A and B are shown apart, each in its own frame.
Chain A
């Protein structure tokens, strides 16, 4: 059974620092991995999708890497801003159930001015 872990559960950084968020998964047989952002009381906003054949994906200040063999993904957010404060979730999609996303519990990020 696929298990997804995100460490740390919470993170606080001063504005301007780079953020590094970790995601690990136990079964390397995945179709893709997706990073989401969730603001309090809101739905999930998709940030980046990495297909299993890709090593990384970039969008603006965000960069996500994928090492399928070691079961790890890292989300980098450059030059953090207070507006980056949110919970970040990673999820993997595998072949065991049609399109089902297996989620980690998330990392809550606070960027202080």
Chain B
């Protein structure tokens, strides 16, 4: 158990809908990362937050957004969902920014039908 929790574990929704994925980092970790793993693209970095502020962006679509709250949990919002958004979404946390160990949550499997 990494100490990072993600909810829900599975999510099935229809095209055009909006969903929210939630992540709670390990106790004491200030940095949260979101990753997407799809069959054709592999693992990709989406976005990073540190202590409530966005610090880095990767290949995140404009339909996706995220935030980190004062209690350090983070939410990833996916809107106007398309079939191609079906993927595993992982959250990870680390103590700070830079070359620190990242601890991964169990992931949320999103299926868009």
**A and B co-occur in one complex:** no
Residues of A within 8 A of B (CB): none
Residues of B within 8 A of A (CB): none
